[in-house]
Amino acid sequence: MLMFDIPFGTTDWEDVERTEHAGETGKAYWRTRNFNNIRVRIVEYTPGYLADHWCQKGHVLLVLDGELHTELADGRTVVLKKGQSYQVADGDLAHRSSTASGAKLFIVD
């Protein structure tokens, strides 16, 4: 992740438009800011959410609330709770998210 030409700024996430993204089951709601090649998001997954794809993109992800299950292409599943995070590089390990009870995330990619 290369960060450049981003002046100091603040974000009131309640003022950022919320977009809906259907999962295989459930929905994801994104509030997204883009800064050159960096995308910063608050993402909320509804209870029962399962991603409709395997992701190859790198992320730094922090669970703000709820519980997130991340299934990895190597067969492992990682469970993260509020205050826990993960990081993965672009193309390193395919992964997909799910949650039984819902989750709110802060993601930089």
Instruction: Encode pLDDT of 9-42 as tens digits.
Output: 999 999 999 999 999 999 999 999 999 999 999 9
Tell me the mean pLDDT in the region 79-98.
Answer: 96
Query: Was domain 19-108 assigned CATH 2.60.120.10?
Result: yes
Band (83; pLDDT cuts 50, 70, 90) = very high
**Residue 3 pLDDT greater than 90, yes or no:** no
| Max Cα-Cα span within the chain | 41
Q: Which two tokens stand for residue 54?
A: 């395997």
Cα separation, 47 vs 25, whole angstroms: 9
Instruction: Give the residue extent of every domain in the chain.
Output: 19-108
pLDDT in tens, 44-66: 999 999 999 999 999 999 999 99
Specify the pTM.
0.94
Instruction: Kindly list the distances between the CA atom of residue 72 and the CA atoms of 42, 54, 55, 93, in Å, as whole numbers in the listed order.
Output: 22, 9, 10, 7
% of the chain surpassing 70 pLDDT: 100
Instruction: Show Cβ contacts of residue 40 under 8 Å, excluding neighbours closer than 6 positions.
Output: 11, 32, 33, 34, 106, 107, 108
